[in-house]
Structure formats: C-alpha cells, structure tokens
Structure 1
C-alpha cells in the first residue's frame, strides 16, 4: 500500500493525544498513529478486538468496556494536561446503513452516538472526530450530535467522502466529522496529498492464488470461503463487473426471478481488476453477499485480501499465532473497521489544523 504524504509537509511538532472509542481492530488508531498522533487508549466492547488492537498498536492501552460505562475520568486518563487532546471514534454503523432494511430506534446502537456526545461534554477534548456511514447524516441523532458540539463551543465541519479519492483501493463512501475548539476546521482535500489511485490489481494482484475453501500455508488469513457446487458453477459463469443476468436461467436464484429481487444485480459478482473494489462489508468473504468474487480465480476474496482493500498493512495480525481463524469473526472485524488510510487522512487534517491555528496566533502577535 502506497504511503500517504502531504505535498507540503510542514506540520506542527506539537503533540496531539487521542482516545479512540469503538476502536474495533484498530483501523482508525493505526491511521492516526501513522499520521503522527499519539493514541493513548482504545475502547471497545467486543472481546475479539483485543488481540488485533493490542498486537498491532503495542504502545496503546486497550480497554474492554462499553462506552455507556465510561466517564470523564476514564477518557482523561488518555489525555495529557498540557497537550492537545482528541476524542475519536466510529459508533457501530449497521443501524444506519443502507444494508440494514430493519433499522429502527429500538436498536440500542442507535443511541451510541449520544453516549459519544456525553463523553465529549464530560471530558471536553480540544478536538473531536467521528466517522460513520453517509446515511447517518439524515438522522435526527446526528443533527443533535452536531448541535451539542456547537453548544459546547466547537467549530464543526462534516462531509461525505469517497475514500478511493484518497488512495483507498475501494469505493467506500463515509461521513467524516471534525470539530475543534480552536477555530474552523476541515478535512484536507485529496489534492493536498501525493496520492496514487489504487486498483484491485495493484492492491491484491500479487497475492498467491487460492482455490475456494483453501488457506495459504504461510498466511492463515489468506483463506477463502468454500463454495457449493451451484455457486462454483455461478462464479465460473461470471465475468468481472458483470451480473447474474449473464448466467444461464438454471443458475439464477429464485429470489432474483421475482420483481423484488431483480434490482440486486451486484450480488454474486466479480470485482474488476483495474477498478477500486466495492465497499467492504462484514460479509465480504461470501461470493453471494455482493460483488466480492475474485476478478480471476473461482472464489470469493480472502480475509487477507479484504484487509488489504481496507488498507490494513499486509502484516496486520487478527488472530494469535496457531489459533484457528473464525472467518465470520475476522470478516466482521475487517468490514467494520475504519480504513487505515482514512484514519491517516483524518490525522493529517487535524495536524494541519493545529499548524494553521499556531500560525494564526503568531501572526496576531506581530
């Protein structure tokens, strides 16, 4: 994965210290650290996050705890008295996602953003960042979150970005919010970086070939799900970028023959070598769950390939050595993650903001 660099790398040396809520496997933390931010604490309620978070971010403390149980004292333990402090996080997004057709306000995850807001109010960080699915922008709970930040004295900006424009080999659209007590703040535009747009081929094209259901002997994460006899026929009949409409009638699923299923053309699809991948979901390891078929080999993409398309380093660890890999658990961790590349862009944007703020103070003193 190519490095991300600002075209004019004249950033402030002043440290930003961070706490990462809903930290998951560490995608946001890893990106923030790469940008030069000192993350002190990651918090998540999922025990499966513990190993990948700790083993890949060894200088960061991990706390297995619900945000509902956290208070200002817990958050401030990760802050520094004379430093610039950041509260970051991505509340679970399935409730708001277009993939969730049954979301409603009875889902407890709906209100986790309000817990985030409470912790901002109680711990009063200098900076705040939040990443989530674009659909959240339409919800009252998001509008309330923004309003409360404004009432607490923060300058707030937010926008939906296509991560492929920032060098992620994936068309992943995300809502990114930044807030600061120091002044106006914005996510840096792609043109501020030396970025190379990456395709599926450039990201995973050199990985060893696999057959469906196999695991590479040197990397237990480079494994793919098994395929039924019918799905093996289907993927062999599929072309990159095509749909199930390319198949013979005997291969089309009964649900897709109905009027309600005719619009779901991207399921049972192959990726295209020379384009970015589609959005990685928590089900990316299943051929029938989206356009997750390998462009060339007769299988769904592997866990390692999914992680790389999420911009995790190739050596990123998700399971202790020698332990069995649960494809569903690791797939969930990877699909839920904030892409490392996006975390890095957010980190550089925050550091550039601090530089601008310091320059403004210097100019006022002249």
Structure 2
C-alpha cells in the first residue's frame, strides 16, 4: 500500500542538489542523490534529507536504487543527465575540430540512455527529466522515449522566467507516470528580477569577499576590464565603450555576434542563463548591474533559486571559483525543481482521489 500522497525519490546526476532541494520544498522525500563528482556530497547532505552516493550512473546497480525507493510511498526517478554535448559551446567546438554535431551515436549522450535503462529496470511510478531544449532534436531522445513503454508521457520546453526564476533560461522538462494521463500545464507565475533577488546583498569591489559569507566573493578584474565595466551600461554591450577599450575580437565580423560578452545585467530584468563561468565578467552578461565587478558566487546561486544560506562547501574550506562555479552553473534551478515537485504531488493526489471514488462507487 502507498502512504497517502507520499512520494519517495532518487535524484540521478544530482549535482549540487538544486533538483533535490526543489523537490523537497514541494514535499517529496528524496532518499538518495547520485553523482560521479565527489564534490556533490557536501551540498546534498548538508542541505537536504538525502544521502549521497558517488557512482557512475552508467554502472549503477538498479537494485540499490530500488532499495532507496522502498518504504511505501509512490516512487519517482528524477534526473538531469549532463547536457554539455548539446550546448552551443560544445557543438561549436566539435565543428571547429571537424566533428559532427548532429545525431551520430557516440559517448556524449550515453548518460541519457543509461537513465532510460535504469527506468526500465526500476519501474518507478513517476519519472521526470530536465535537460537542454536541443535534446528534443537528437535521436537519443526518441531512444529515451521508447524506453518509457507503459508510461503516460508529456514534455515541453519551459521558459524559466515564467515560473518565477529570475533568469532567461529555457529547459526541456519531461514527466512520465504509470498512474494515469499526465500533462504539464502552462505556467505564468509572478516574475522576478535581478534586483528582487540580489538587490540587498552587501556591496563588494572586484576581488573582495564578504567576511560574513565566504560565497559572496567577486573575482578580480584586470586594469583594462575595470575600465571597461565602468563604461558598461546595464543591459548594454561593449559597443558602449570608447574605441580604445574594445578588444581585437570585437573588430572582427565574428565578434560582432556576441554583444552580451562583457555586459552588465539590468536591475529590473531577469538575469541571463547562469553558466559554470558566470563569475567572470568577460564570459557573458555577468557584470553586476551597479557595482564595478562580476556577480559573486552567492549572487549566482541565488539567481539559480538557491536560498541565501545554501552550503556548497564545508565550513573552513577555501572558496574555489572554478569548483563552486561549476556546481552552481550545472545545477537544476531550485525553482524549477519545486514547480515540477508541486505538479507531481498534485498529479498523485488526483490519482488517489479518483481511485478512492471508484472504490466507493
């Protein structure tokens, strides 16, 4: 018998725990977070009720997953297979080296297939997968869907700003259920801006770290980049700079197509998509709207929906921009996890209500 409304979950490719934390906020009990990266152990176990398992999903024992999901609740297998193979950067890199960026069968996307294999073996009541929109055009997506035989399925691309995340981030979300038909609704939740999320954090200068929050740390700026950011307007481009500050790449035809590089965010708009390199002023529109610096790691995390006190590294450990930036940029936004969790909870309640009604008729 299932415990009324209770959902037990395993989060594959859990990363820093954005999906886990969001699902738990919706009332779903995440029992296990699985990732090959040992750096994910602390954020998962310090911020959620889940245990962390360092493992490669490709060789993960489905019996271990099944044990984690036992206990009388409905079962959910969730995850976001690493999406770098389908990113714009990755496709461009392949083309540069003469490789095909299309649908060829290679190791890049094998983790999506391994996820599907685990679903077939574990047979959870519910499945959710989050990934980049270009996945839908890949052959592997059809392979994945074929592995969901016996499930009702729906998927759509969600603009994250429409669910209350202060980011212009689009994500493909898939849900599947053995309980009954399932349809992802249209979302139009209150919009958030950069100001509404990070506007009250203490001011920093480039290279400074808040003594009360080690993650509120801004990267250093070279002399020329400090001069550049002082000429940068919120929401503007490098075209706002004097000629002598423009980089040589900006004078090339290819450089003209990247206007947001070295840009500032705008206070009253959403942030751009937060990436693993979001702490660097030259890596995108990651300049602070007002202060002459790139956004801090804490600001990046909050723009991903993480609460202000979320712990990414153990107390006393020095803050590495590359390590923490990777954890933050690769995370499923917490807000998206919470919305998916709320939706799945409602789906289970509708199913239970319908089942009780049939029993009493």
CA distance in 1, matches of 2:236, 2:209: 27
Q: CA deviation at 1:363?
A: 3.6
Q: Which moved more, 1:293-302 or 1:109-118?
A: 109-118
Contact preservation (8 Å) 1:92, 1:109: no
Q: Which residue of 2 aligns with 1:184?
A: 181
Q: Which residue of 1 aligns with 2:146?
A: 147
- Residues 295-318 of structure 1 show CA distances to partners (whole Å, capped at 9, x for unaligned) of 000000000000000010100001
Q: Which residue of 1 aligns with 2:30?
A: 39
1:107–1:317 Cα change, 3 Å: farther
Q: Which residue of 2 aligns with 1:174?
A: 171
Look up the SS of the partner of 1:285 in the other structure: coil
Q: Which residue of 1 aligns with 2:133?
A: 134
Give the counterpart of 2:81 among 83, 91, 97. 91
Contact preservation (8 Å) 2:23, 2:337: yes
Q: CA deviation at 1:239?
A: 0.1
Alignment of 1:118-133 (within 5 A): 118-133=117-132
Q: Which residue of 2 aligns with 1:305?
A: 299
Look up the SS of the partner of 2:174 in the other structure: strand
CA distance in 2, matches of 1:352, 1:309: 26
Q: Is there any run of 5+ residues in structure 2 with no aligned partner, and where?
A: 95-100
Look up the SS of the partner of 2:257 in the other structure: coil
How high is the TM-score relative to the length of structure 2? 0.94
CA distance in 2, matches of 1:48, 1:106: 30
Give the counterpart of 2:69 among 68, 75, 79. 79
Q: Which residue of 2 aligns with 1:9?
A: none
Q: CA deviation at 1:49?
A: 0.9
- Residues 275-325 of structure 1 show CA distances to partners (whole Å, capped at 9, x for unaligned) of 111110111001011100000000000000000000101000011111101
Q: CA deviation at 1:356?
A: 1.6
How high is the TM-score relative to the length of structure 1? 0.92
Q: Which residue of 2 aligns with 1:248?
A: 242
Q: Which residue of 1 aligns with 2:260?
A: 266
Q: CA deviation at 1:186?
A: 2.3
Q: Which residue of 2 aligns with 1:278?
A: 272
Contact preservation (8 Å) 2:129, 2:174: yes
Q: Which residue of 1 aligns with 2:57?
A: 67
Q: Is there any run of 5+ residues in structure 1 with no aligned partner, and where?
A: 1-11
CA distance in 2, matches of 1:32, 1:20: 10
Q: Which residue of 2 aligns with 1:5?
A: none
Contact preservation (8 Å) 1:155, 1:184: yes
CA distance in 1, matches of 2:41, 2:249: 39
Give the counterpart of 1:353 among 323, 347, 353. 347
- Two-structure CA RMSD over aligned residues (Å): 1.4
Contact preservation (8 Å) 2:117, 2:147: no
Look up the SS of the partner of 1:288 in the other structure: helix
Aligned residues: 349
Contact preservation (8 Å) 2:4, 2:73: no
CA distance in 1, matches of 2:87, 2:351: 35
Q: CA deviation at 1:107?
A: 6.3
